[in-house]
């Protein structure tokens, strides 16, 4: 088996995903750049290659069965296995009023469906398609990019400042966390470690480029979880400072 480790990052054409791809690439991983738009994907691959990363493009819309099946086939042809899967692609869904707020009493149900389809069902779809390839790795890692706004403990604590009510996005990431725990339990007797990561508040397209952290800083926890040693944690939720309560 080739020594070079293989990673796939979903939504890697920009933002935090791009920086996760960069960080893994500069650590010697060969990186599949999962992205749904051909122009954005190829431009990210080109940029990564210029930065010295061994990158290849993986057409991937996490909401589409055929796209995900074909992505797994492409990774198999390109690399024969997968060592790291980072489920980073995500959307917030539109606000119901000013700013980022999503008022639960005024939510369009189609927004909830679309956000869950991408942030939760998309992760399950991609993970299950990639699992046969991950099982061929000696130290497989799955990282789900979540958010601290998924923490029910923090959301329920009036003394913690956690931003506006986001009734589609926050629960979608709580759902993703719950799914992460189920994968970790199911795979507990394998060498696959499955964890969730919060990048912090990062200035990307997602936040209208507001937020104190750079995409590179936002990528750090996901990179750490993607490169955990054997015997490392599984079924947990981390930010830079350590474990986040569920
Ligand atoms: P971003 O710059 O908007 O990037 C999101 C990425 O996801 C883009 O590459 C986008 O592709 C991709 N994507 C969306 N839907 C997709 C689909 N159906 N199939 C494939 N790719 C899809 O956002 P970001 O800030 O880097 O966010 C990355 C992750 O971090 C998300 O899961 C987000 O929830 C999480 N997060 C972000 C923050 C923050 O402060 N930024 C905080 C906590 C958590 P296109 O370019 O084609 O749209």
Residue by residue, DSSP assigns 122-190 as HHHHHHHHHHHHHTTSSS-EEEEE--GGG-HHHHT-TTS---S-BTTHHHHHHHHHHHHHHHHHHTTTS
Residue 58 belongs to some domain of the structure: yes
Take residue 158 and report the two structure tokens written for it.
Answer: 């009036």
Residue 1 belongs to some domain of the structure: no
Give nearest CA residue, ligand 1 atom 34: 90
Full-model pTM: 0.98
Residues in CB range of 127: below 8 A, 6 or more apart: 85, 87, 142, 183
Residue 67 belongs to some domain of the structure: yes
Ligand 1 centroid from CA 191, angstroms: 28
Residue 133 belongs to some domain of the structure: yes
Catalytic pick among 18, 29, 169, 183: 169
Ligand 1 near 152 CB (within 6 A): no
Neighbours of 141 (CB within 10 A): 24
Ligand 1 centroid from CA 145, angstroms: 9
When pLDDT is averaged across residues 46-73 and rounded to a whole number, the result is 98
Task: Grade residue 243 by pLDDT with cuts at 50, 70 and 90.
Answer: very high
Q: Which of 31, 45, 90, 203 best tests ligand 1's pocket when mutated (most atoms within 8 Å of CB)?
A: 90
Kindly provide the b/e burial profile for residues 89-119, where b requires at least 16 CB atoms within 10 angstroms of the residue's own CB. bbbbbebbeeebebeeeeeeeebbebbbebb
Give the H/E segment covering residue 224.
helix 215-226
Residue 176 belongs to some domain of the structure: yes
When pLDDT is averaged across residues 6-11 and rounded to a whole number, the result is 99
| End-to-end Cα distance, the chain | 38
Q: Can you tell me which atom of ligand 1 is nearest the CA of 213?
A: 40
- What is the extent of the structural domain holding 145? 6-243
Ligand 1 centroid from CA 42, angstroms: 17
When pLDDT is averaged across residues 26-49 and rounded to a whole number, the result is 98
Kindly state the DSSP code that residue 229 receives in the 8-state scheme: P
Ligand 1 near 93 CB (within 6 A): no
Take residue 168 and report the two structure tokens written for it.
Answer: 């589609």
Mean per-residue pLDDT of the chain = 97
> For residue 90, what pLDDT is reported?
98
Task: Grade residue 98 by pLDDT with cuts at 50, 70 and 90.
Answer: confident
When pLDDT is averaged across residues 217-221 and rounded to a whole number, the result is 98
When pLDDT is averaged across residues 193-199 and rounded to a whole number, the result is 98
pLDDT beyond 90 at 150 = yes
pLDDT beyond 80 at 1 = no
Task: Grade residue 220 by pLDDT with cuts at 50, 70 and 90.
Answer: very high
When pLDDT is averaged across residues 96-114 and rounded to a whole number, the result is 95
Q: How far apart are CA 142 and CA 186, in angstroms?
A: 13
Ligand 1 near 88 CB (within 6 A): yes
Domains of the chain: total: 1
Task: Grade residue 2 by pLDDT with cuts at 50, 70 and 90.
Answer: confident
Residue 194 belongs to some domain of the structure: yes
When pLDDT is averaged across residues 143-148 and rounded to a whole number, the result is 98
Q: How far apart are CA 162 and CA 211, in angstroms?
A: 13
- Domain of 64, CATH number, reads 3.40.50.720
Ligand 1 centroid from CA 195, angstroms: 18
Q: Can you tell me which atom of ligand 1 is nearest the CA of 146?
A: 44
Give nearest CA residue, ligand 1 atom 23: 206
Residue 218 belongs to some domain of the structure: yes
> For residue 42, what pLDDT is reported?
98
Residue 29 annotated to the active site: no
pLDDT beyond 90 at 36 = yes
Residue 228 belongs to some domain of the structure: yes
């Amino acid at each position: 088996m080739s020594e070079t480790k293989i990673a796939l990052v979903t939504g890697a054409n920009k933002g935090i995903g791009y920086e996760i791809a960069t960080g893994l690439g500069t650590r010697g991983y060969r990186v599949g750049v999962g992205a749904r738009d051909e122009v954005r994907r190829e431009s990210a691959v080109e940029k990564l290659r210029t930065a010295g990363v061994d990158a290849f493009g993986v057409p991937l819309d996490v909401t589409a069965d055929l796209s995900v099946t074909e992505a797994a086939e492409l990774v198999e042809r390109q690399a024969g296995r997968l060592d790291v899967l980072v489920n980073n692609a995500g959307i917030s869904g539109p606000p119901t009023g000013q700013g980022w707020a999503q008022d639960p009493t005024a939510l369009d149900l189609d927004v909830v469906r679309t956000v869950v389809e991408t942030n939760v069902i998309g992760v399950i779809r991609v993970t299950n398609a990639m699992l046969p390839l991950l099982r061929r790795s000696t130290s497989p890692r799955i990282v789900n990019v979540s958010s601290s706004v998924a923490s029910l403990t923090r959301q329920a604590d009036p003394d913690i400042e956690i931003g506006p009510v986001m009734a589609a996005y926050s629960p979608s990431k709580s759902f993703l966390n719950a799914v992460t725990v189920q994968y970790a339990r199911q795979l507990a007797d394998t060498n696959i470690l499955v964890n969730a990561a919060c990048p912090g508040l990062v200035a990307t397209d997602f936040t209208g480029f507001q937020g104190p952290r750079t995409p590179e800083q936002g990528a750090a926890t996901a990179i750490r979880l993607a490169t955990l040693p054997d015997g490392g944690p599984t079924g947990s939720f981390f930010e830079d400072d350590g474990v986040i309560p569920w």
